[in-house]
């Protein structure tokens, strides 16, 4: 049985909930990633922010990313998966929620991120292909 912790990218860096979207964009660029977890002062996961979120939800609506806090894009409860879950559970969750990245928790602590790229690099091509196909569907 393959566990999520066997496939995830460990030790993700967070953008702080009080950091600006400009700070988040700089961090995305320096890490060469498309998404970051948003963590609170208590180090707990508050949400996720993507490069697309910054453009579509802030800039395109006339917002100022240097004045907008990351927490303003943390909508609802983030979809997460346990580090000890079977990888098939994570794939099902990614497909059902149509998300490309899942924060991975161990108890309540953020310990990793599992992404489409992790899936593609670690699993059989059919499982990876099915997951990517389902996530990318246009309804």
In this predicted model, what pLDDT tens digit does every residue of 68-109 receive, in sequence order? 999 999 877 889 999 999 998 998 999 899 888 999 999 989
What's the CATH superfamily of 4-135? CBS-domain (3.10.580.10)
Alpha helices in 21-139 (DSSP H): 21-31, 51-53, 87-97, 116-122, 125-135
Residues 121-132 pLDDT 10s: 876 665 555 655
What's residue 124's pLDDT?
64
Q: Which has the closest alpha carbon to 115: 130, 128, 125?
A: 128
- CA pair distance 110, 104, nearest whole angstrom: 6
């Amino acid at each position: 049985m393959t566990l999520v912790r066997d496939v995830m990218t460990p030790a993700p860096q967070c953008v702080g909930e009080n950091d600006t979207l400009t700070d988040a964009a700089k961090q995305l660029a320096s890490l060469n990633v498309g998404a970051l977890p948003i963590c609170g002062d208590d180090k707990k996961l508050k949400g996720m922010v993507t490069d697309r979120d910054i453009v579509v939800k802030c800039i395109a609506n006339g917002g100022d990313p240097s004045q907008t806090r990351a927490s303003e894009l943390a909508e609802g409860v983030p979809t997460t998966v346990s580090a000890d879950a079977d990888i098939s559970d994570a794939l099902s969750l990614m497909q059902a929620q149509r998300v490309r990245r899942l924060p991975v928790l161990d108890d309540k602590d953020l310990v990793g991120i599992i992404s489409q790229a992790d899936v593609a690099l670690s699993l059989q091509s059919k499982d990876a292909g099915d997951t990517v196909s389902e996530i990318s569907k246009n309804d």
